[in-house]
Amino acid sequence: MRAIWTGAITFGLVNVPIKLYSATESHDVRLHQVHGADGGRIRYQRRCEICDEVVQWGDIAKAYDDGEQTVVLSDEELASLPVEKNREIDVMEFVPSEQIDPIMMEKSYFVGPDSKSTKSYQLLRQTLEETDRTAIVSFTLRQKSRLGALRVRGDVLVLQGLLWDDEVRAADFPELEQSARISEKELKMSAALVDSFSADFDPSGFSDEYQEELTKLIEAKLAEGDALDTEKTFGTKDDDEGGEVLDLMEALRRSVEASKKKRAGGAVEEKEAASGGGASSSAADDDADSGDDADSGDGEAKPKRASRASSSSRSSSTSKAAASKSSTTKSAAAKSSTAKTTAAKSSTAKTTAAPKRPAKTREKKPA
């Protein structure tokens, strides 16, 4: 990362050399303004209202206008301000971390050490971590005097820009002055709904759907040009609400039921995924016998379960058929054996019943 500011953190007589780095970045797709008819880029000119000439950046100054008079301030005059030359982050006080209202937080900066020895940096970080305190600091960045909160995030220090007190607007809504009557049943139902959605925050589980769809649209336009069919690319979204008006209790009840069903469905899928491994060996044997190839990809988890179920069914049917054939074969063998025995007995009976023929004698012819 490239440092955007170099200076030091000071509190008391302690001086910690540091560098600031931008801690965040935008993932938005950058779009340009163009002429819709021919796609030409739109360019803006810095034109003076008095002389109607185009003004270059080097000739531009800043000014304050109170409605009657205009005070022009040059870059040299702005740079001469004492606070602009200050390269220190001054610690004004250490406060409990929970006392800082998140509504005051602005851009974040990573604070990295700027010296070969990081002992003073490590000492400050460890002290803030063990005391659970946040340092309220003041510093100057990009021609502005700023308020900030220096806190610990993992192994590094983070400088969180803060709004000044007069920059936070007061929440003044006359509608909230009217008291609303909330029943105990509504409160319990609402608490049950909150409980059904309770989870540990994991930022990686969320995505910017608009930017994903915008990227998909751009890629489709690059592939298909102006003949793009948006319904084919993104599909159509059905309106499930149907204009139905629900009272608060009914809406809470349906929301709780929907959340329970969603969680129950997820639990069933996890249970099926966990129990799928036990029957894999027998299913794999059946698949091998039937000549089917198993895909080990994660995306084929559900077809695998279906294949296992069908393989098990085929195995059961094959076993029954084999048993039936075996029974038939044994029956046929028994019949064949009975037939052979009967034939043998019949042959014996014929042999016993048949009369013996007298032996033929040769008559001697007279000499």
pLDDT of residue 309: 40
Q: Flag whether 309 is in a domain.
A: no
Q: Rounded to whole angstroms, how far apart are CA atoms 107 and 127?
A: 24
Angstrom distance (rounded) from CA 3 to CA 252: 50
On whether the CB atoms of residues 17 and 113 are closer than 8 A, the answer is yes
State how beta strands 62-65 and 70-73 pair: antiparallel
Mind spelling out the 3-state secondary structure of 198-253?
CCCCCHHHCCCHHHHHHHHHHHHHHHHHHHCCHHHHHCCCCCCCCCCCCCHHHHHH
- Contact by Cβ (8 Å): 46, 36: no
- 194 occurs within a structural domain: no
- 157: containing domain: 1-28+86-166
Query: Could you report the per-residue pLDDT of 111-148, keeping only the tens digit for each?
Result: 999 988 899 999 999 999 999 999 999 998 887 889 99
In contact, 75 and 65? CB cutoff 8 Å:
no
**Closest among 111, 94, 83 to 17, alpha carbons compared:** 111
pLDDT of 364 > 90? The answer is no
158 vs 149: CA distance, rounded Å: 8
DSSP per-residue letters across 285-325: HHHHHHTPPPP--GGGHHHHHHHHHHHHHHHHHHHHHHHHH
Q: Is 108 exposed, middle or buried (0-12, 13-18, 19+ CB in 10 A)?
A: middle
User: How many domains in the chain?
Assistant: 1
pLDDT at 3: 93
CA 237 to chain centre: 21
**Does the structure show a pLDDT above 70 at 162?**
yes
CATH of the domain at 97: 2.40.290.10
Does residue 22 sit within a domain?
Answer: yes
**What's the rounded Cα separation, in Å, for the pair 280 and 269?**
17
Question: In this structure, is residue 326 part of a structural domain?
Answer: no
Cα–Cα distances in angstroms (integers) from residue 189 to residues 123, 198, 221, 256, 258, in the given order:
49, 14, 47, 8, 13
- Distance of alpha carbon 238 from the chain centroid: 24
Mean pLDDT of 95-116: 93
Instruction: Indicate the range of 169-178, 303-312, 324-333 predicted with least confidence.
Output: 303-312
**Looking at the domain assignment, is residue 97 inside a domain?**
yes
pLDDT of residue 227: 59
Question: Cα separation of 215 and 224, whole Å?
Answer: 14
Domain presence at residue 13? yes
Structure confidence by residue, pLDDT tens digits, 262-316? 777 766 666 666 665 544 444 444 444 444 444 444 444 444 444 444 444 444 4
Closest to 88 measured CA to CA, from 163, 151, 12: 12
Q: Does some domain include residue 54?
A: no
Q: Is residue 18 part of a domain?
A: yes
**Is 70 exceeded by the pLDDT of residue 187?**
yes
Question: What tens digit of pLDDT does each residue of 209-259 get?
Answer: 999 988 888 888 888 777 566 666 666 655 554 455 567 777 777 887 887
Pairing state of beta strands 105-113 and 133-140? unpaired
Q: Is 28 exposed, middle or buried (0-12, 13-18, 19+ CB in 10 A)?
A: exposed
